[in-house]
Structure 1
Amino acid sequence: MSERTTAPAASDAPLAGLPLLRGERVWGFWSFTSVNVGLAIATWSFLGGGSIALFVGAKAAIATTVVGNLIGVVLVALTVCLPSAKYGVEQFGALRSVFGRNGVRLLLLLLMPFLLATWNAILAIMFGRALANVCNAVFGTSLREDSPVVIGFCLLALLASWLLLLRGPLSLGRTNLLIAPALAFITALMLVVILREYGPAQLAALEPPDPIGLPLLDYTNALEVSLATGFSWWAIMGNLARLTTTPRAAFWPNLIGLFGASVAAGLVGTLAALAFGSSDPTTWMVPVGGVVLGAISLLFVAVANVTSIMGQTYSGALAIQRLHGSLQRVPWPLMAAVLFVPAGVMVFFPGGIYDLFFRFLALVSLILAPLCAVYFADYHLLRRRVLHLRDLYAADPESRYGFWRGVNPAAFASVAAGALTYLLLLNPVTYANAPVFPYLTASLPAFAVTTAVHVALTRFVVRRLGKGGYA
């Protein structure tokens, strides 16, 4: 460990290696805020808001969106942003203290292909639809949502993201410094346009298009979608927070960007879905805002999706390099290109991905709420916010985080207990639920059960066997 194997954060390759020193970190408070805003005001915020509109009207949507996102974002920021910013380590490097080295590799093999490919595909499809609607409005074309031209635009979004990422994380920060203020303005302008078409009283009176019919159950379903939106940030934010100058600069921008901006965009999506029958801004921005304003707005939404793809893929690259040391020697352009391939395949089926979005959110929460909980319990409750950096990088026999051949079965058992709790309360595919679900949600009990099981197993089994360095 005498040589630093990590390139400076400002270089052209975000290698996963030793912790970043203070001088190698590039994002202060406002830079990280702009990154968060650029990530938040994208496809998933509008579509998430539209999913909430399936169950509740405007008043209940405001309450569930604020509460669910606030809980999810705060728990994610506490869990992944603080340790990565404090120690300058990537999220999945720090997770060795929870799952063990080989446990993290197993987690990545199961987790990253599913999450990274699906999110990037959703963002690319929105990009393609946005450009298609601009063409239809400005040039009088009649491009369908699944036409080859739209698929070509989707692939263009992935190509543009790849080209921008060749410059490393600095390109992400610089792009968002320009885009984030414009996105915030466009979102606010769209809200004004909706309120001009439908006054507050009319919007409040609009009924959701597909409610279950039981007020409490509809409310809890909407809250569950909002919680899933908050927890969905877990997989990428630690690797981005690693580039911040202080833990404070890593934590508070999440409340401005991931919470504030995401809530604002989500509510625009909700109101649009209630008023115009669609949360997809590519379908209503031009009819509502007019050709000029609508086209400009769609272009900014398209660019916002590119910045979100960049942020996800940069974070995913750091995670994938954890699978094996040889991957750190793969040229960064090749690594980034390979990560875009699964999304490039998925964009050839744009309709199915959009139609299953709110079910995908439930699956995300089924996985990420327990993962967030086990990391939270381990770092804050068991280790008292202390990690030993040398042990994060030492070989398993010499590391206090070696566990059993590099795997901590207690962590996986805890996550399984949380996921099972979620499934007993809510089926993420059919949305069939247990009688107590309307009173509890599914994500919050899954988080609580995972936390309790991990603390108990660690204190009464792992620590007593002298594993994990908990003593």
Structure 2
Amino acid sequence: MSNSDEDVGGLITRETLAGRLPVQGSSRLYNGFGTLLGATIAIGAASFNYLFGASIAYIGNTYIGIIGYLIGLMMGLAPIYLASGMISYRHGVDPVDAAKSAMGTRGASLLLLLILITTLGWSFVLIAMTGQAAGRLQQILFNPNGGIDNSFVAAVSVLMLVLVWLLLRKGPAMIALLTRYTSPAILLIAAVLLYLITRDVNLSTLLHTNVDPKLAYTTDPLLQLAYGVEFGASNALTSVPFFGGIARLIHKRKHLVTPSLLGAGLIGAGFTTAVGALAAIATGSTEPAEWVLKTAGSGMGTIIVTILLLANLGTLISFFYLAGVSVQQIRFFARMRWDVIIFVLLLPGLVVAFNTEWLIAHVMNWLAYNGAMFAGIAAVLLTDYLLLRRQTVLPAHLFVKTPDSAYWFWGGVNWVAMAVIVLGACVYLSLFNPLTLAVGSTFRYVGATMPAFAACILAYYLAMRLVIAMSYKGGYRNVSQLSLKKVSVGL
């Protein structure tokens, strides 16, 4: 093969990975267990997990909270990964394209909106947290009697935006390269922090040390466990907009769930969140930079915080990559070069850089409610592909935007799916308010995520079977494409 052929082949691979073309065979980035494990650790072990850990500490029983969180996280991740990843893995397509078979050619725009809100929202929160942590470090070291220097916070935040663009502008291959180093660094830092907070108080004692009962969410052990499980399950729901974009880059079917379950789940989010909970109990502080300096001292603490902040780059480029691919569903962005797309997505970060406190205070509220939508979406995707379509879709029709598409439904929208997604949000919020932490009467026994997920699976399956039965009588235009017997047409 000539050099020109190799250059063309490399260009095609880069364009495929950075766009919506199906990613197949050797073009996929993650062809081994280790590389995928590193990438998912980078996504799962973001610094905001330390803040989640503080929330777990305030459940009222540290041990029960951590155990419940891990149970909810692992229990929720497996079905979420299957729901959001199977079609993307099999056909190499973006999660929005994959969702069209269930939500409709136009209805999948809802998932696109939520993907952009979630990926960009959490990315900007992480950038704001990085700037704030750097500002806190600078204040403690150089201005202990003064406040945080907002200009320094803004400068660090802008620097993070520039670094993300420089690292990601040539395509997503940098994700695999960078996370090879940032993921071990994140885990090493978490392990060092765990050692530091258990030097003077052994781990068992710390696990059974609780916050003041007056500050706890509840003193009821069963409700404490329910809160812990729900926090873990809610975290699992946030994988819905992320995992499809990772799944299309996985080479082997056997790696679809296990490395991600270990990486993003147990090792990434699970371990770092548990360390955050223990650190909050040990230091009485909920700010990572502050309790790192309290436990490690100014010298080592400065090094640890600096590495921790730089390690956030692995998470950030993963999030912006997923947003960059999905936003190409919009024709305006599809015509842009990849580096320009990433630049445009990063632009709002300039506003974030100068308003970090406001963003953390307000966007976190919206993101808390935003997650309520994902229980219904995950249930619809899982039920549609596994139970109704029996793992058969027509990949070419995922890219057809006219009534000729096998997934046109009614005007391009599967209104049954839309109704079930709304149902899921209503059930979830009736059982648990993620902002105020108010709960329904049955929350202590069943939580909120799993009942909402189960209700949506049942509702979607029964409703779609009814629609399919009615379609045989000619009651709906294009609904004949839903027939389970007509695999060649739509299912």
CA contact (8 A) 1:81 1:247 kept: no
Q: Aligned partner of 2:36: which letter?
A: F
CA distance in 2, matches of 1:457, 1:345: 45
Q: 1:317 to 1:404 in 2, by over 3 A?
A: same
Match of 2:438, SS? coil
Match status 1:396 vs 2:399: no
CA contact (8 A) 2:120 2:323 kept: no
Of the three residues 173, 176, 181, the one matched with 1:173 is 176
Q: 1:418 to 1:176 in 2, by over 3 A?
A: same
CA distance in 2, matches of 1:149, 1:280: 18
Match status 1:342 vs 2:345: no
Give how far 1:459 is off. Answer: 0.8
Match of 1:236, SS? helix
Match of 1:86, SS? helix
CA contact (8 A) 2:51 2:287 kept: yes
CA contact (8 A) 1:121 1:343 kept: yes
- State the match for 2:462 in structure 1: 456
- State the match for 2:297 in structure 1: 290
> Whose radius of gyration is greater, 1 or 2?
2
Of 144-153 and 79-88, more deviation after overlay is shown by 144-153
- State the match for 1:118 in structure 2: 121
Q: 1:8 to 1:162 in 2, by over 3 A?
A: same
- State the match for 1:301 in structure 2: 308
- State the match for 1:193 in structure 2: 196
Match status 1:382 vs 2:385: no
CA distance in 1, matches of 2:273, 2:320: 23
CA contact (8 A) 1:144 1:150 kept: no
- State the match for 1:31 in structure 2: 35
Give how far 1:338 is off. Answer: 1.8
Of 51-60 and 342-351, more deviation after overlay is shown by 342-351
CA distance in 2, matches of 1:361, 1:222: 19
- State the match for 1:231 in structure 2: 237
Match status 1:16 vs 2:23: no
- State the match for 1:211 in structure 2: 216
CA distance in 1, matches of 2:122, 2:438: 25
Cα deviation 1:119-154 (Å, max 9, x = unaligned): 012210222133334445666677744612112211
CA distance in 2, matches of 1:342, 1:27: 31
Match of 1:102, SS? coil
CA distance in 1, matches of 2:245, 2:40: 13
Give how far 1:80 is off. Answer: 1.8
Cα deviation 1:4-43 (Å, max 9, x = unaligned): xx98685267443331120211212211111111122212
Match of 1:397, SS? coil
Q: 1:185 to 1:15 in 2, by over 3 A?
A: closer
What is the TM-score of this pair, normalised by structure 1? Answer: 0.91
Could you say what the CA RMSD is over the residues aligned between the two structures, in angstroms? 2.4
CA contact (8 A) 2:65 2:224 kept: no
Q: 1:258 to 1:408 in 2, by over 3 A?
A: same
What is the TM-score of this pair, normalised by structure 2? Answer: 0.88
CA contact (8 A) 1:102 1:406 kept: yes
- State the match for 2:437 in structure 1: 431
CA contact (8 A) 2:62 2:207 kept: yes
Give how far 1:355 is off. Answer: 4.8
- Structure 1 residues without counterparts, runs of 5 or longer: 1-5
CA distance in 2, matches of 1:469, 1:292: 67
Query: Identity over aligned residues, as a percent?
Result: 27
Report the count of equivalent residues.
464
- Structure 2 residues without counterparts, runs of 5 or longer: 1-8, 472-479, 486-491
Give how far 1:312 is off. Answer: 0.9
Q: 1:461 to 1:13 in 2, by over 3 A?
A: closer
CA distance in 2, matches of 1:204, 1:352: 33
- State the match for 1:3 in structure 2: none
Of the three residues 355, 368, 377, the one matched with 1:371 is 377
CA distance in 2, matches of 1:136, 1:12: 44
Match status 1:314 vs 2:317: no
